[in-house]
Amino acid sequence: MQVIQSIEQIRQLVRQWRQLEKTIGFVPTMGNLHQGHLSLVEEAQKCADKVIVSIFVNPTQFAPGEDFTSYPRTLQEDQEKLENAQVDVLFVPDREEIYFPDESTRINVSGLSEQYCGASRTGHFSGVATVVCKLLNIVQPDSAVFGQKDFQQLRVIQRMVRDLNIPVKIKSMPTFRGLDGLAMSSRNSYLTPEQKATAPELYQALLDAKEAILACRQGYPEIEHQQISRLRCSGFDPEYFVICRSLDLHSAKSDDTDLVILTAAKLGKTRLIDNIEFIKKI
């Protein structure tokens, strides 16, 4: 596995691969890799001849007071995992390689970015969209693979790629979960042992809400309020628990069929997000 830090080097290598008519898959990450990330790598390898993984902790998607400086950075361990996974290239640019000192351009995907996580994390999705656009422009892959754990982020990226006519196929993979149902996340390392025992309750709330929707037992606002109360009783500080249309994340109505339930909640100081997507038959 090659480790590359500069944009020029990665572009030169990609040009060589293109001359050999190789297809290129890409998995952008912020590192601290777990099995969920490696499942994205496996999917990329199924769809492309060559696979590039990037590790870049993007400063522009962290709001003031968030955990940018303390975000877990485990480059040596990550590199070993990617080598074992037979990744072709690890791209690890530093901040100066990605952002000019006087840079002033941001991408904003309006309509998808302002609510839910975007409401409490000012500028977060603008930072995400900007850095993903930059990385796609740098690597110019045929396909890029993202996980569904951050469902709102996935929709923002899909809309940006569509609207800007970026010639890349965005693939998504289901959330990778532990045996207890907890969605794998780099931030899970912040949880205490007691909190780790409680954290799977977030996914269970999603499952129970889905069951209530499919059984048509309650109206959507009642289901949302019920699960928020439940999470509070379990020790969470819920930020939102919403039933949405899967495609555009607008609030769902009773006759909508493609649904996703989104939730975010703090457990202690750790902010957890999760979702469940499903189809309701009318």
Q: What backbone torsions phi and psi does residue 26 show, to the nearest 5 degrees?
A: -140, 135
The residue count of the chain comes to 282
> Catalytic one among 37, 124, 225, 250?
37
Q: Where are the alpha helices (DSSP H) in 173-219?
A: 193-198, 201-215
**At a CB cut-off of 8 Å and minimum separation 6, what does 103 contact?**
none
Q: How far apart (Å, rounded) are the C-alpha atoms in residues 35 and 20? A: 31
Burial 7-22 (b: 16+ CB within 10 A, else e): beebeebbeebeeeee
CA–CA separation, 187 and 245 (whole Å): 27
Within 13 A of 237's CA, how many CA atoms are on the CB side?
6
Q: Is 37 a catalytic residue?
A: yes
Is the backbone of residue 184 left (phi > 0), alpha (psi -120 to 50) or beta?
A: beta
Active site residues: 37
